[in-house]
Structure 1
Amino acid sequence: MNPAVGYVSLILVSLSTVLIGIYGLRISRTTGDFYVASRTVRPWWNASAIGGEYLSAASFLGVAGLILISGVDALWFPIGYTAGYLMLLLFVAAPLRRSGAYTIPDFAEARLDSVMVRRVTSLLVIAVGWLYIVPQLHGAALTVRITTGLPSWVGSVAVVVVVCLSVVTGGMRSITFVQAFQYWLKLTALAVPIVFILLQLGSTGGPITNGGAVFSADLNVTDDASLYRNISLVIALLFGTLGLPHVLVRFYTNPDGASARRTTLIVLGLLSVFYLFPTLYGILGRIHTPELAASGSADATVLLLPSRIFDGSAGDLLTALVTAGAFAAFLSTSSGLVVSLAGVVSQDLFHGSVKGFRWAAVISAVIPLGFALLTDTLALAGSVSMVFAFTASTICPLLVLGIWWRGLTDIGAVAGMLAGAVLCGGSILLSAALGPSAPSSREWLEQPALWTVPSAFAVMIVVSRLTAGRKPAGTSRILARLHTPEQP
């Protein structure tokens, strides 16, 4: 692969991101612009931006890699990533927008009239954001190393620099433009090469995928997933989407609750179209790049497949396009995470000022960079699924019960979130510490959502009932605001 291809792609994506961010600076003047784009983002634009930030390294590279090494079992990832937005549509999108809050901690404090709940929620949002940023930086490191030959750390540092410039210059309004552009860039970067690849393979006259043999278990390098693992994974992906701070903050930018619902419907369509393509890359990768599974480089399938099918300049051009899309994935998701974290940190530490937002953005990006440089990359989609399990066990119960159950109390909310954090976080850490030495219990620890999510809900409900006297006096008024449609 010609290193110049990688350099040109990365430079062009980075420059376009910074330039769009600078354009956003021209129209980002108020605090509302920086935090929620003054709540004026229309459904199609917002849906594209959500698609841009949600389709992360795990989606762009990781899904194809997991299909390469796991076959049919990995198809639950694109299904779960998309179906999670149906849960958002049903339970969260419109009420959360009607709350009028800037951040999830703002919602928690307003709903339960408790500074304690706000602080616990803030800590969890920050933890989730940092855990989610690290895989994006690992993906950037992998992409830069493969496409340019530069050291891995260059990719991680480049993402943080570009993200900081974009977020600091224009805040949420600027990032909305950036992420909407990057969704369509990512879709194009996957769709165009796969169309040419399929045409090239079809021109040979033979079967493209050898029928069902492409999903033969003989090609898998991982054990077949059990029923428990699949159910737990789906629960993590469905409920975890409800707790992702960088996704939820985008609903605050809609003009009203009805717009938030329309945005979610459009997102479902955009994601359904997008995930067709990494799935195809994974299927074709099982035929044309099977050695990547054994070498531990499955996440590079999307980057390397075009050059395996095409020689010369055609392969270079298609690789350049895929590389640009991959880097856009890291930038857009990291930007969304940094914006959501900056909103929380600036509100709690810098009194919510624009200057404080900018300082908070830098802090929110630099700290996970340190973690990324000190750790090795995991399978991207697998590592992100752990974050989904954690959010499903912590932030999700707070939002669902806070929106739909008037009996929730501050003590109950804190107890449930901490129980979910300890159970889920402890399970993941224990699994990593034990390694393969405890195979019988490993899947219960690696994929804990099936028991940690119900446990968090149960603790939150039981403790709230035991502390019913602490139910906020304004609960009925707040719930009426959440569930009453706005007047046209």
Structure 2
Amino acid sequence: MNTAPSIVAVVVVAIATVAIGTWGLRFSRTTSDFFVASRTVRPALNASAIGGEYLSAASFLGIAGLVLTFGADMLWYPVGWTAGYLVLLVLVAAPLRRSGAYTLPDFAEARLGTPLVRSVCSLLVVAIGWLYLVPQFQGAGLTLDAALGAPGWLGSAIVPAVVLVNVLTGGMRSVTFVQAFQYWLKLTALLVPAVILLTVWIDDGATSPARVGADAAAWSLPVADGGGPGLYLTYSLIVATFLGTMGLPHVVVRFYTNPDGRAARRTTVVVLALLGVFYLLPPIYAALGRVYAGDASSDVLVLELPRLMVGGAAGDLLSALVTAGAFAAFLSTSSGLTIAVAGVLSQDAVGRSRLSGVAAFRVSAVIAAVVPCVVAIAAPDLGIARAVGLAFAVAASTFCPLLVLGIWWRGLTDIGAVTGLGVGFLGSSVGVAYAFAPVTSSGWIHALMAQPAAWSVPLAFATMVLVSRATRHRIAPEVNRFMVRLHTPEAVVLDRGDS
């Protein structure tokens, strides 16, 4: 195996990332530039940047591996991850931008009028961000191991180092240009090899993909097998992915960079199109992998398939292109998550010290990247897609109820929100604890523990509503004015009777 092309690909991506981020530095002068790019990012650029940061290690490597191993029912992952933006478009995007907040904790405090909710939201942002960052760094380690034969810890260390260069120098404005570039790089890196590999498959006279070592008919089931528990796992996964998108800190923060609510909606529509195109590609690799991959590791199927099907120098070049896309995926998602976590830490932790503004943001960015880097190196065996799925479950069980009720129901109170956030976090954390626990189970116990969103999300909603109704006297006094602000389009000019 010739690793030279893959080494060159990784180096070129890293250099291009730093170069674009450095170029964006000349536009970053204020604190607002570092946090939200001064709210001047247009829909086309912002949609490309969102696509760049959202298409993570789970999207690039995890989906193909899951479909290869478990069959077509795993296609609910890309369906849910894309459809989540439809829910975001309808319920959250424009009102959230009109709130004028920098972060989710900012929104929560402005809506509910108490710093207690802000503190709880800050802790949740950090927890979800780190839970999502760990698999990005692990994926980088897997990629460099499979493509270059490098030790796993090297990739987990290189990605946060490159990310910090961009985040520390230019903040959100620099990262926006980087992520937009990386979306198109990732799409090209999957699309070009996919077309060539499909051509090879057709030339080989293959008729249809067959499941390796199992019944081909079972592979095509549209929902999970395994009876009731299997069906529950599918529906719970749908709930987590559909509703978790709006609660992901690195996704939400990008909508604060739009000029207004209308631009936020247009951005979301373009994102739906970009994700829809991208998610057509990983299942192609999975289907071809069932014919050609044999015993190849599911986590690195996308990286190994070109060499298995084409071979020679052409196979090495195609693998190098896919490796470049994978490395870009880790960099772009990690950049967005680091920005989101650093923004919260700088305002609610580091910013309370003598540091403030850009200095606090930079210290926070280092903390945001280093902690999950250490965890990724210390615990390298957690499945990529599974870890990301758990982050979605936690986000769906906490921030989704807060945003939906906070935007659309004036009766939400601070006590109701805090209680619901706590219940949702504890419920969804069951899945996180279960993933790390050295225990095995099956049937309903396994299903309920492994994928808790189907019960933890309704429980969080119900808790917020019931506790808020029991504490009506705690409704924020400025709630009516804030609700008008959320739901009034910017184009509307209010006549105050001035003459």
TM-score tier after normalising by the smaller chain length: over 0.9
Q: 1:322 matched to which residue of 2? A: 322
Q: 1:170 matched to which residue of 2? A: 170
On the 8 A contact 1:134/1:372 being kept in 2, the answer is: yes
**1:215 to partner: Cα distance:** 4.6
Write the distance in 2 (CA, Å) between the matches of 1:286 and 1:104: 42
Give the alignment's Cα RMSD to 1 decimal: 1.9
Q: 1:121 matched to which residue of 2? A: 121
Q: 1:410 matched to which residue of 2? A: 414
Q: 2:491 matched to which residue of 1? A: 487
After superposition, the Cα gap between the structure-2 partners of 1:218 and 1:402, relative to the gap in structure 1 and judged at 3 Å, is closer
Q: 1:289 matched to which residue of 2? A: 293
**1:223 to partner: Cα distance:** 6.5
Instruction: List gaps (5 residues or longer) in structure 2.
Output: 493-499
Q: 1:110 matched to which residue of 2? A: 110
Q: 1:310 matched to which residue of 2? A: 310
Match of 1:378 among 377, 382, 390: 382
Write the distance in 1 (CA, Å) between the matches of 2:69 and 2:206: 24
**1:242 to partner: Cα distance:** 1.1
Matched AA of 1:467: T
Matched AA of 1:402: G
Q: How does 1:448-463 map to 2 (within 5 A)?
A: 448-463=452-467
**1:423 to partner: Cα distance:** 1.4
Matched AA of 1:54: Y
**1:430 to partner: Cα distance:** 3.9
Q: How does 1:169-318 map to 2 (within 5 A)?
A: 169-207=169-207, 209=209, 215-217=216-218, 224=226, 226-292=230-296, 297-318=297-318
On the 8 A contact 1:6/1:147 being kept in 2, the answer is: yes
Segment of structure 1 superposing worse, 196-205 or 97-106: 196-205
Deviations 1:143-167 (A, max 9, x none): 0111111110000000010000011
Matched AA of 1:174: S
On the 8 A contact 1:137/1:156 being kept in 2, the answer is: yes
After superposition, the Cα gap between the structure-2 partners of 1:438 and 1:206, relative to the gap in structure 1 and judged at 3 Å, is closer
Q: SS at the partner of 1:291?
A: coil
**1:438 to partner: Cα distance:** 5.0
Matched AA of 1:161: A
Q: How does 1:340-379 map to 2 (within 5 A)?
A: 340-351=340-351, 353-379=357-383
Q: 1:445 matched to which residue of 2? A: 449
On the 8 A contact 1:243/1:391 being kept in 2, the answer is: yes
On the 8 A contact 1:214/1:283 being kept in 2, the answer is: no
Write the distance in 2 (CA, Å) between the matches of 1:248 and 1:172: 13
Matched AA of 1:153: W
Q: 2:495 matched to which residue of 1? A: none
How many residues align structurally?
483
On the 8 A contact 2:37/2:172 being kept in 1, the answer is: yes
Deviations 1:176-215 (A, max 9, x none): 0000000000000000001011112222344253699995
On the 8 A contact 1:43/1:254 being kept in 2, the answer is: yes
Matched AA of 1:466: A
Write the distance in 2 (CA, Å) between the matches of 1:218 and 1:97: 42
Segment of structure 1 superposing worse, 305-314 or 58-67: 305-314
Q: SS at the partner of 2:392?
A: helix
Write the distance in 1 (CA, Å) between the matches of 2:241 and 2:219: 27
Deviations 1:35-85 (A, max 9, x none): 100111010100000000000000000000000001111111111110000
On the 8 A contact 1:71/1:215 being kept in 2, the answer is: no
Matched AA of 1:203: D
Q: 1:337 matched to which residue of 2? A: 337
**1:317 to partner: Cα distance:** 0.7
After superposition, the Cα gap between the structure-2 partners of 1:432 and 1:359, relative to the gap in structure 1 and judged at 3 Å, is closer
Write the distance in 2 (CA, Å) between the matches of 1:427 and 1:168: 34
Deviations 1:316-373 (A, max 9, x none): 1100000000000000000000001111111113435011111111110001111111
Q: SS at the partner of 2:440?
A: helix
Deviations 1:88-107 (A, max 9, x none): 00111000000011101000
Matched AA of 2:105: P
After superposition, the Cα gap between the structure-2 partners of 1:339 and 1:377, relative to the gap in structure 1 and judged at 3 Å, is same
Segment of structure 1 superposing worse, 249-258 or 340-349: 340-349
Write the distance in 1 (CA, Å) between the matches of 2:211 and 2:470: 58
**1:136 to partner: Cα distance:** 0.3
After superposition, the Cα gap between the structure-2 partners of 1:482 and 1:218, relative to the gap in structure 1 and judged at 3 Å, is closer
**1:135 to partner: Cα distance:** 0.4
On the 8 A contact 2:72/2:220 being kept in 1, the answer is: no
Q: SS at the partner of 2:26?
A: helix
Q: SS at the partner of 2:108?
A: helix
On the 8 A contact 1:69/1:219 being kept in 2, the answer is: no
Segment of structure 1 superposing worse, 372-381 or 423-432: 423-432
Q: How does 1:38-187 map to 2 (within 5 A)?
A: 38-187=38-187
Identity fraction in percent: 57
Matched AA of 1:233: L
**1:431 to partner: Cα distance:** 5.7
On the 8 A contact 1:5/1:147 being kept in 2, the answer is: no
1:425 matched to 2:429? yes
**1:218 to partner: Cα distance:** 7.2
Matched AA of 1:101: A
Q: SS at the partner of 2:382?
A: coil
Matched AA of 1:435: V
Write the distance in 2 (CA, Å) between the matches of 1:344 and 1:389: 21
Write the distance in 2 (CA, Å) between the matches of 1:357 and 1:424: 29
**1:6 to partner: Cα distance:** 2.3
On the 8 A contact 1:24/1:169 being kept in 2, the answer is: no
Deviations 1:389-412 (A, max 9, x none): 011111111111110110011111
Higher helix content, 1 or 2: 1
Q: 1:393 matched to which residue of 2? A: 397
Matched AA of 2:405: L
Q: SS at the partner of 1:28?
A: coil
**Please, what TM-score do these two structures have when normalized by structure 2?**
0.94
Write the distance in 1 (CA, Å) between the matches of 2:205 and 2:449: 47
On the 8 A contact 2:23/2:174 being kept in 1, the answer is: yes
Q: SS at the partner of 1:27?
A: coil
**1:380 to partner: Cα distance:** 1.5
On the 8 A contact 2:210/2:290 being kept in 1, the answer is: no
Write the distance in 1 (CA, Å) between the matches of 2:467 and 2:84: 28
**1:302 to partner: Cα distance:** 0.3
